[in-house]
Amino acid sequence: MKVSVKLFVSSTCPNCPAAKTEINELAQDRDDFNLEILDITNPNALKKAQEENIMSVPTYIIKGEGYENKIGLVGSQGHKILNEY
């Protein structure tokens, strides 16, 4: 089973374009995760962000089989850090 990666962004966020670029580049290099990018200006995405207790964007939520807790990374992380998680 693949890891689930959700990236919460906003169209008004100055750091979100870099985060989207970073995760999309990683998705090109790896095929072991499913990616969902959620723009919180969309009401459905906002609801999901609230369910995850997202307080700022960009925020990555990473969930994997066999791990009890999800990993939350706030801010633009860079390819190396994202690859580690």
Residues 38-55 pLDDT 10s: 999 999 999 999 999 999
pLDDT surpasses 70 at 79: no
pLDDT tens for each residue of 5-42: 999 999 999 999 999 999 999 889 888 889 999 999 99
> Are 31 and 61 a contacting pair, CB within 8 Å?
no
Which pLDDT does position 68 carry in this prediction? 72
The pTM for the full model equals 0.85
Per the prediction, the chain carries an average pLDDT of: 87
Query: Cβ(64)–Cβ(34) under 8 Å?
Result: no
Contact in structure between 7 and 37 (CB atoms under 8 Å): yes
Domains belonging to the chain, first-starting first, are 3-84 (3.40.30.10)
